[in-house]
Amino acid sequence: MKINRFKIFRVYLVFLIGLGILGCQPQSSSVAIPETDQNVQIETEAVPLKGAAKVVCEIEGCIRFDLQTVDTNIDWINQYFVERIQHTEPVAFIKVIQKNPKKAHETHYLDQRTIKVEFMAQRAHLATFALKSSNLPRNHAQPMTHTEYINFDLQQKKRLALHQFLFNGSEQKLLEVMYRANAPWLNKQGIQLQQLKLSDNYYFDSSGLVIVYPAGELAPTAAGMPELKVPYADLKKVIRPEYWAILQQTTS
């Protein structure tokens, strides 16, 4: 009889302890749900990149830097561009003894390098920026320029490569529709379908997908960076539905 009473008491004690623990849990209505980046409307401001030297001189000459980034209301995007520019122009962030500072004022000893980040567009949780760079070597009349388009998924907090927009295995299908849409220009350049490759430099505008190639790859360097466009009507069968639902709103 004593054993039975002890068992009953032990079960009751465990029940009370469990009830006390549950009573200490916060009610679901009191838990704050943080706002995610996918719900944020991006705000941007162009700012000079902190910590970058304006002029760095070595024995062979000097480099003048003009490095600008964007200050947005999303911290991880800000950090992404700071790190990208630091990686692209590491000399601007290294303390170099100016062995001949007079050369900083002499044009024929001066390279000029510029980087600017521009916000282009936001569609729901997709955002596009342009990273524009220019390099004017000493004694050259024209700078070498390049624009890299960067597409972010704000929900996943990462940059999206072109293949991440596509159904698995649909790269060849995209190449075919891109070739058909740009056949007159490509034929003029002597480029056949089997020679064409996808570029990971791309953006979406109001009419469709724009794939960008480096100067000199598909056409003479003097022609700049070629752009091949694919209308939205040709993209439905290659774009993943979660992204197509966002992109098709652009055409409406």
> For the whole model, what pTM was predicted?
0.80
Q: How far apart are CA 127 and CA 69, in angstroms?
A: 16
Give the single-character DSSP code of 166. B
How far is the CA of 128 from the CAs of 40, 112, 176, 222, 238, in angstroms? Answer: 14, 27, 25, 27, 20
Q: How far apart are CA 127 and CA 118, in angstroms?
A: 11
Task: Give the pLDDT confidence of 178-204 residue by residue, as tens digits.
Answer: 999 999 999 999 999 999 999 999 999
Q: Which domains are assigned to the chain? A: 34-159 (3.30.565), 161-252 (3.90.640.20)
Q: Could you tell me the strand order of the sheet in which 208-212 lies?
A: 202-204, 208-212, 227-231
The β-bridge partners of 113 are 65, 135
The β-bridge partners of 191 are none
pLDDT at residue 238, rounded to an integer: 96
pLDDT at residue 60, rounded to an integer: 74
Task: Give the pLDDT confidence of 20-52 residue by residue, as tens digits.
Answer: 433 333 333 333 334 455 578 999 999 999 999
Q: How far apart are CA 214 and CA 148, in angstroms?
A: 9
Q: How far apart are CA 65 and CA 55, in angstroms?
A: 6
Q: Which of 85-99, 154-168, 215-229 bottoms out in mean pLDDT, i.e. has the lowest? A: 85-99
pLDDT at residue 14, rounded to an integer: 39
High-pLDDT (> 90) share of the chain, %: 69
Confidence of residue 97 (pLDDT cuts 50, 70, 90): low
For range 207-225, the mean pLDDT: 95
**40 Cβ contact list (under 8 Å, min separation 6):** 73, 74, 154
Q: Go through the chain and tell me how many residues it has.
A: 252
Q: Determine contact, residues 55/100, Cβ cutoff 8 Å.
A: no
pLDDT at residue 92, rounded to an integer: 93
For range 77-89, the mean pLDDT: 97
Give which of 247, 172, 155 is closest to 210, Cα–Cα: 247
* Straight-line distance from the first to the last Cα atom of the chain, in angstroms, rounded to the nearest whole number: 80
Q: Which of 41-50, 107-116, 202-211 bottoms out in mean pLDDT, i.e. has the lowest? A: 107-116
pLDDT at residue 163, rounded to an integer: 96
Q: What is the mean pLDDT of the chain?
A: 84
pLDDT at residue 46, rounded to an integer: 97
Residue 57 or residue 147, greater confidence: 147
